Amino acid sequence: MNALRKLLDQQKPLFEKGGKLEKFYYAFEAGETFLFTPNSTGGKHGTHIHDAIDLKRMMITVVIAMVPALLFGIYNVGHTHFLAVGELAEATFLDKILIGSIAVLPIVIVSYTAGGLVEVVFSIIRRHPINEGFLVSGMLIAIVMPPTLPLWQVALAAIFAVVIAKEVFGGTGMNVLNVAMTARAFLYFAYPGDMSGDVWYYLGDKQYADGFSGATPLGLAAEAVAVEGSQSVAATLAGFQDGLFTFWNMTVGLIPGSIGSTSFIAVMIGAIIIIATGVGSWKIILSGFIGVYAMGLILNLAGANEYMSMPPHYHFVMGGVAFGIVFMATDPVSAAHTEMGKWVYGFLIGVITVIIRVLNPAYPEGIMLAVLFMNVFAPLIDFYVVEANKKRRLQRATV
Partner 1 sequence: MPQHIKLKRGFTINLAGKPEKTVSDAPPSDTYALKPTDFLGMIRPKVSVNEGDIVKAGAPVLFDRKLEAVKYCAPVSGEVVEIKRGEKRKLLEIKILADKEIVYEEYKQYSISDLIALGREEAQEQMLQGGVWPQLIQRPYGIVANPTDTPKDIFISTFDTSPLAPNYDILLKGQGNFFSAGVEVLKKFTEGKIHIGVDAKAEVSSVFSEAKGVVTTKFSGPHPAGNVGVHIHHVSPISKGEIVWTIDPYGVVQIGKLFLKGVYDTAKTVCLAGSEVSKPQYYQTHSGACIDKIVEGKIEHRNVRYISGNVLTGEKIESTGYLGFYNHLISVIPEGDEYEFLGWMKPTTDKLSFHRALGLLSFLNSSKKEYVLNSNMKGEERAFVQTGIYEKVLPMDILPEYLLKAIMAEDYDEMETLGLYEVIEEDMALCEFIDVSKHDIQGIIRQGINLLRET
The yes or no reply on residue 333 touching partner 1 (CB under 8 A) is yes
The yes or no reply on residue 173 touching partner 1 (CB under 8 A) is yes
Kindly indicate which of the ranges 10-18, 46-54, 209-217, 249-257 contains the residues binding partner 1, using the contact rule CB under 8 A: 46-54
Amino acid at 89: A
The yes or no reply on residue 17 touching partner 1 (CB under 8 A) is no
Q: Which of 198, 332, 359, 379 binds partner 1 (CB under 8 A)?
A: 332
Between 304 and 380, name the residue whose CB sits nearer to partner 1.
380
Rg (CA), the chain: 23
Between 246 and 277, name the residue whose CB sits nearer to partner 1.
277
Between 313 and 337, name the residue whose CB sits nearer to partner 1.
337
The yes or no reply on residue 45 touching partner 1 (CB under 8 A) is yes
The yes or no reply on residue 137 touching partner 1 (CB under 8 A) is no
- Coil/strand/helix, residue 362: coil
CA dihedral 14, 15, 18, 21 (to 10 degrees): 80
Total of chain residues touching partner 1, rule CB under 8 A: 63
Tell me how far apart the alpha carbons of residues 51 and 62 are, in angstroms, rounded to a whole number. 19
Among positions 55-84, residues that touch partner 1 (CB under 8 A) are: 55-58, 60-61, 64
The yes or no reply on residue 166 touching partner 1 (CB under 8 A) is no
The yes or no reply on residue 1 touching partner 1 (CB under 8 A) is yes
- Under 8 Å between Cβ of 318 and 221: yes
Minimum gap (Å) between residue 37 Cβ and partner 1: 3
Amino acid at 57: R
Tell me how far apart the alpha carbons of residues 337 and 15 are, in angstroms, rounded to a whole number. 37
Tell me how far apart the alpha carbons of residues 171 and 115 are, in angstroms, rounded to a whole number. 12
Asked whether the CA dihedral 40, 45, 46, 49 is positive or negative, the reply is positive
- Under 8 Å between Cβ of 119 and 130: yes
The yes or no reply on residue 33 touching partner 1 (CB under 8 A) is yes
- Under 8 Å between Cβ of 346 and 283: yes
Kindly indicate which of the ranges 130-138, 239-247, 312-320, 351-359 contains the residues binding partner 1, using the contact rule CB under 8 A: 130-138
- Under 8 Å between Cβ of 284 and 345: yes
The yes or no reply on residue 349 touching partner 1 (CB under 8 A) is no
The yes or no reply on residue 39 touching partner 1 (CB under 8 A) is yes
Tell me how far apart the alpha carbons of residues 44 and 87 are, in angstroms, rounded to a whole number. 69
Q: Per-residue x/- mask for partner 1, residues 365 to 394, rule CB under 8 A? A: --------------------xx--xx-xxx
Kindly indicate which of the ranges 32-40, 66-74, 290-298, 343-351 contains the residues binding partner 1, using the contact rule CB under 8 A: 32-40
Instruction: Report the largest interatomic distance among the alpha carbons of the chain, rounded to a whole angstrom.
Output: 81
Kindly indicate which of the ranges 74-82, 116-124, 127-135, 193-201 contains the residues binding partner 1, using the contact rule CB under 8 A: 127-135
How deeply is 399 buried, as exposed, middle or buried, from its count of CB atoms within 10 A (0-12, 13-18, 19+)?
A: exposed
Minimum gap (Å) between residue 398 Cβ and partner 1: 5
Amino acid at 137: S
| Chain residues that interact with partner 1, rule: CB under 8 A | 1, 4-5, 33, 35-58, 60-61, 64, 129, 131-133, 170-174, 276-279, 281, 332-333, 335, 337-339, 342, 385-386, 389-390, 392-394, 396-399
